[in-house]
Amino acid sequence: MNIKNIIDTLTKHKAKTYKTRSTDKIKYIIVHHSATVQGSAESFANYHVKNNGWPGIGYHFVITKKGEIYQTNHIKTISYHATGYNTNGIGICMVGNFDIENPSKEQYSALVGLINYLKDQYDIEVKNVLGHRETPNAHKSCPGTKFDMDKLRGEL
């Protein structure tokens, strides 16, 4: 599995910074979709900083439709991706709108590989791999109505 680290190349807020945590606090992996048919880590970082006023991109990883994995935040970063789960969660975003399309085979395979790697690295239980919509404060379909979280957990 090839993870490309692009943390230092992404748009960041001029004054704000994310807080950090120790890795022993990590208990969850939260799966997201971009809810856009196209996009990139760069475009998401620009949106999160310029539109939302966040310190940087909200996700720790972005997976393209081709299955390319980009690390977009340090694991110790407490970024903004799922209310109530930011302090103890890792956010993974797949490019796409899975309310209207399915992830590509390459993208889905990359997601499974990345989650298995992170589960092993940080001792995260399969039951703690959640879709954003499965978190109590979410009011959206993320990672999309066509994305089956139970199927994903069964494959981990």
- Per the prediction, the chain carries an average pLDDT of 97
Where the chain has pLDDT below 50, the residues are: none
In a domain, 119, yes or no: yes
In a domain, 80, yes or no: yes
Quick check: bond before 143 cis, omega within 30? Answer: yes
CATH code assigned at 146:
3.40.80.10
For residue 139, what pLDDT is reported?
Answer: 85
In a domain, 66, yes or no: yes
Number of independent structural domains in the chain: 1
Q: CB pairs under 8 A, 24+ apart, for 135-142? A: 135/30, 135/82, 135/83, 135/84, 135/85, 136/84, 137/82, 137/83, 137/84, 138/82, 138/83, 140/35, 141/99, 142/32, 142/33, 142/35
For residue 137, what pLDDT is reported?
Answer: 83
Residue 78 belongs to domain spanning = 3-9+19-155
What is the C-alpha separation between 44 and 57, in angstroms, rounded? 6
In a domain, 14, yes or no: no
